[in-house]
Amino acid sequence: MNASTSGPGNDMPDFSNVESGASSTAQESTPAFKTYEIKSGDSLSKIAKREYGNANEWRRIFEANQDTIKNPDKIFPGQVIKIPL
């Protein structure tokens, strides 16, 4: 676009003063989860009850951790998992 096609009286919007910043803001956003280290006696339902107030939300935690938890009944002390917010 050249100067003769932009300006007053033209239907073309002028974005010359717009600054980009979307990529840096996306990287600075808060993660959608927090981490938690499994303690002895923990189960996904106990963690869900403590975090969400509902033990039935255990699947939410399991689905967020399928890369590290293969069986929701087999979690181990010391394992670090993500708790979706």
Is the pLDDT higher at 6 or at 52? 52
The pLDDT value given to residue 12: 79
Task: Tell me the pLDDT tens digit for each residue of 4-20.
Answer: 555 556 677 777 777 76
Residues contacting 16, CB < 8 A, separation 6+: none
**pLDDT on residue 2:** 53
Q: Which of 81, 48, 54, 50 is nearest to 65 (CA)?
A: 81
State residue 18's pLDDT score. 73
User: Which domains occur in the chain, in start order?
Assistant: 31-85 (3.10.350.10)
Decide if 30 contacts 84 (C-beta within 8 A): no
Question: Residue 76: what pLDDT?
Answer: 96
Structure tokens given for 26: 């996306």
Gyration radius (Cα) of the chain, Å = 24
pLDDT in tens, 12-51: 777 777 776 655 445 567 779 999 999 999 999 999 999 9
